[in-house]
Amino acid sequence: MEDVIEMVVEKIIPSELIIHPGEKLADILKERGILYDELVAELGVSISYISDVMAGKENISKGLTLGLERVLGVPQSFWCNLQANYFAKIDQYGN
């Protein structure tokens, strides 16, 4: 019985801990008081793309990581690592 409970807990809790890079992007924008319109204008991307990234529906592309580094000053490696960690957790927990 304990094994079953452990398996269930491992499947439920990790999904709460898996952070899509878009969630962090949304946090940074909020902390800095940057509006979506301002960000998309600086990046030259559509608001729907940025909205999808922040909702976890789209992944952060290499081009976007470069733009975020330029506009926000957050290194490209930070965004790439977040995306890689997200993929690894999805693979690990199958969520």
User: Between the CA of residue 1 and those of 8, 13, 19, 60, 86, what are the distances in Å?
Assistant: 11, 18, 30, 41, 30
pLDDT per residue as tens, the chain (95 positions): 555 445 554 555 566 678 899 999 999 999 999 998 999 999 999 999 999 999 999 999 999 999 999 999 999 999 999 999 999 988 887 65
The pTM of this model reads: 0.80
Q: Are 50 and 36 in contact (CB under 8 A)?
A: yes
CB atoms within 10 A of CB 76: 16
CA distance 19 to 66: 20
